[in-house]
């Protein structure tokens, strides 16, 4: 059993990670800036704390006595959020910096940083037929403005804290993680949840049209939460210090994903393309050659299954919300 700090425990991935770590017999300190009542998941067997980890003193008190730290704390959301909140996204660098300083001071054994596919060069993502982004494609640097720069800078911080101070760091570049219990409305949701909500609303209201941001031909790969957690834990347990992709390589267009959701919901919808809405890069996919070789890991959950589980959960959230109104 280890004593483990999960920063960003009130978030989507953080909640699942706390659950897995507690069930594996670890003592977990769960920290998030949000009030505990606003967390995605609340684990009664964790020590759940509300703290602002942009403040150094809060980081120091949080890491005191722990063996490992998982940093998933960040101000982030889907493309609609990160394109319009670049400064807020950049400020998350304070969390990583202060947590690393605290880990050095209190001799924490191992540190995990949740990075993102947004670190990859924009000129590698200009066509829909993306062959897959390799870890070396992050340089020369040309990441997503704001959010991507913060992630890339924080990756370098992890590297140099190991080189200069011996802090053992692990870095995962997540590719569009989704699943039940995630953000599904309010402006921070990502494409799978946003589209599932739109299709569910259309099914519930007998509407025949949904709005799609862009022309629907932009491509992505999407990683189910169960795969994300398994890959994260394998990476943390390994001796791999370089950043690696934790993502699916099952690439689809947004139009194709809508088609999968239509099949799940048993509806057929016309599509209203909003060409002025935020749409991000043209094509993004994960090349899993390195992580497969280093960790013998690759995702096992198909997009069809993951979207089905996510859709059922979001559909029920819409029904429940309407009942409370």
Of 16, 111, 120, 147, which one is the catalytic site residue?
147
Q: How far apart are CA 227 and CA 236, in angstroms?
A: 14
Residue 147 is among the residues annotated as catalytic for this protein: yes
The residues with which 246 forms a beta bridge, in sequence order, are: 174
Structure tokens at 192: 């799978």
Task: Report the DSSP pairing between strands 219-221 and 251-253.
Answer: antiparallel
Tokens of residue 71, six digits: 């940093």
Euclidean distance between CA atoms 157 and 288, whole angstroms? 24
282 phi and psi, to 5 degrees? -75, -40
- Residue 282 CA to residue 147 CA, distance in Å, equals 17
Q: Report residue 32 as tokens.
A: 């998030």
313/184 Cα distance (integer angstroms): 10
Which amino acids are annotated catalytic?
147
């Amino acid at each position: 059993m280890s004593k483990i700090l999960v920063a960003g425990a009130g978030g989507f991935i953080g909640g699942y990670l706390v659950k897995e770590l507690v069930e594996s017999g670890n003592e977990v300190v769960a920290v998030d800036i949000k009030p505990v009542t606003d967390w995605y998941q609340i684990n009664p067997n964790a020590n759940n704390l509300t703290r602002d980890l942009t403040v150094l003193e809060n980081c120091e008190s949080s890491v005191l006595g722990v063996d490992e730290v998982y940093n998933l704390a960040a101000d982030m959301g889907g493309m609609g959020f990160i394109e319009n909140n670049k400064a807020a996204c950049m400020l998350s660098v304070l969390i990583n910096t202060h947590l690393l300083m605290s880990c050095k001071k209190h001799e924490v054994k191992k540190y995990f940083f949740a990075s993102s596919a947004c670190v990859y060069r924009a000129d590698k993502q200009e066509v829909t037929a993306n062959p897959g982004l390799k870890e070396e494609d992050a340089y020369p640097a040309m990441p997503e403005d704001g959010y991507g720069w913060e992630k890339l800078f924080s990756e370098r911080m992890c590297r140099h804290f190991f080189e200069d101070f011996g802090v053992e760091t692990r870095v995962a570049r997540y590719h569009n993680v989704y699943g039940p219990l995630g953000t599904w409305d309010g402006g921070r949701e990502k494409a799978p949840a946003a589209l599932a909500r739109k299709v569910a609303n259309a099914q519930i209201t007998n509407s025949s049209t949904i709005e799609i941001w862009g022309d629907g031909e932009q491509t992505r790969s999407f990683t189910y939460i169960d795969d994300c957690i398994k890959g994260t834990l394998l990476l943390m347990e390994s001796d791999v210090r370089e950043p690696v992709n934790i993502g699916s390589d099952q690439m689809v267009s947004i139009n194709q994903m809508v088609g999968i959701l239509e099949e799940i919901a048993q509806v057929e919808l016309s599509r209203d393309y909003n060409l002025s809405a935020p749409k991000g890069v043209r094509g993004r996919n994960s090349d899993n050659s390195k992580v497969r070789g280093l960790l013998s890991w690759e995702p096992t959950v198909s997009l069809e299954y993951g979207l089905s589980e996510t859709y059922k959960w979001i559909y029920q959230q819409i029904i429940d919300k309407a009942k409370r109104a």
